[in-house]
């Protein structure tokens, strides 16, 4: 098969009947999902953490300048079907400064999202099919907020208990009472008891009360 240029007349007819569709400008925050899938649309970018309120809250306000790298693509599956499936794949990656639950210092946690969503006609359908389906179902929208979905997914990927593999600082000594600290050099009570026993002394004996009284009397007189 060799390529042969078509007569220019046909070209002209083609261009009239099938005008080149300018690729639609898709907006990640107001995405026409159906059109995005039909066109096999692609979107990608980087967005600062500070733009994701709920993620920032998880990071306790740290790292707002860090970037979430993301991309999304639309696809019609089974396009010849009467109701072809509308899919959007979302991928994202970010390093979040979370709080280590062991030493309470910041710990960088890599979070990555790679998930495909099938869009159905409405919420009711999504809910109805959700139980029977292992797919992630969402309701079609002409103004879908991809970043909100991204944020949901990132939050779902967070570890329940973020922590360092090895904490950078030795664990802080648990806060102690100053009194306890003063008393801490005192030998263990059992050791004292043991010492008394081995010395043959009676731990309960020796009326100390007498000497106390004597001292009091002395200071008065
Ligand atoms: Zn730690």
* C-alpha of residue 99 to centroid of ligand 1, in Å: 8
Reference 140, options 81, 92, 83; nearest CA is 83
* C-alpha of residue 132 to centroid of ligand 1, in Å: 41
pLDDT tens per residue across span 156-171: 999 999 999 999 876 6
* C-alpha of residue 101 to centroid of ligand 1, in Å: 7
- Of residues 151 and 1, the one with the higher pLDDT is 151
pLDDT for 176 beyond 60 = no
Q: What is the C-alpha to C-alpha distance for residues 190 and 51, in angstroms, rounded to an integer? A: 61
* C-alpha of residue 174 to centroid of ligand 1, in Å: 15
pLDDT for 207 beyond 50 = no
- Of residues 33 and 22, the one with the higher pLDDT is 33
Q: Are 164 and 176 in contact (CB under 8 A)?
A: no
* pTM of the complete model: 0.65
- Of residues 24 and 99, the one with the higher pLDDT is 99
pLDDT tens per residue across span 13-23: 444 444 445 55
Residue 194's pLDDT is: 58
Reference 41, options 20, 68, 18, 23; nearest CA is 23
* C-alpha of residue 170 to centroid of ligand 1, in Å: 9
Residue 195's pLDDT is: 55
**pLDDT > 90: percent of the chain:** 54
pLDDT for 110 beyond 50 = yes
Q: What is the C-alpha to C-alpha distance for residues 171 and 173, in angstroms, rounded to an integer? A: 6
pLDDT for 142 beyond 70 = yes
Domain boundaries, the chain: 24-156
Segment 40-56 shows an average pLDDT of 96
Residue 131's pLDDT is: 77
pLDDT for 10 beyond 50 = no
Residue 135's pLDDT is: 87
3-state SS of the chain? CCCCCCCHHHHHHHHHHCCCCCCCCCCCCCECHHHHHHCCCEEEEEEEHHHCHHHHHHCCCCCCCCEEEEEEEEEEECCCCCCCEEEEEEEEEEEEEEECCCCCCEEEEEEEEEEEEEEECCHHHHHHHHCCCCCEEEECCCCECHHHHHHHHHHHHCCCCCCCCCCCCCCCCCCCCHHHHHHCCCCCHHHHHHHHHHCCCCCCCCCHHHHHHHHHHHHHC
């Amino acid at each position: 098969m060799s390529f042969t240029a078509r007569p220019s007349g046909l070209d002209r007819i083609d261009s009239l009947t099938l005008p080149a569709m300018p690729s639609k400008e898709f907006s990640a925050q107001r995405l026409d999902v159906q059109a995005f899938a039909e066109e096999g649309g692609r979107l990608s970018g980087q967005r600062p953490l500070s733009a994701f309120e709920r993620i920032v809250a998880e990071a306790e306000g740290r790292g707002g300048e860090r970037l979430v790298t993301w991309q999304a693509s639309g696809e019609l599956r089974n396009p010849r079907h009467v109701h072809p499936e509308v899919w959007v794949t979302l991928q994202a990656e970010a390093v979040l400064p979370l709080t280590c639950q062991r030493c309470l210092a910041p710990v960088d946690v890599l979070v990555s999202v790679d998930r495909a969503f099938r869009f159905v006609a409405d919420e009711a359908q999504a809910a109805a099919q959700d139980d029977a389906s292992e797919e992630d179902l969402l309701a079609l929208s002409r103004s879908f907020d991809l970043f909100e979905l991204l944020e949901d997914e990132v939050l779902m990927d967070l570890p329940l208990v973020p922590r360092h593999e090895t904490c950078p600082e030795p664990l802080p000594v648990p806060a102690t009472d100053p009194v306890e600290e003063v008393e801490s050099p005192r030998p263990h009570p059992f050791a004292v008891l043991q010492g008394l026993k081995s010395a043959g002394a009676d731990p309960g004996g020796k009326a100390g009360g007498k000497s106390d009284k004597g001292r009091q009397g002395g200071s008065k007189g």
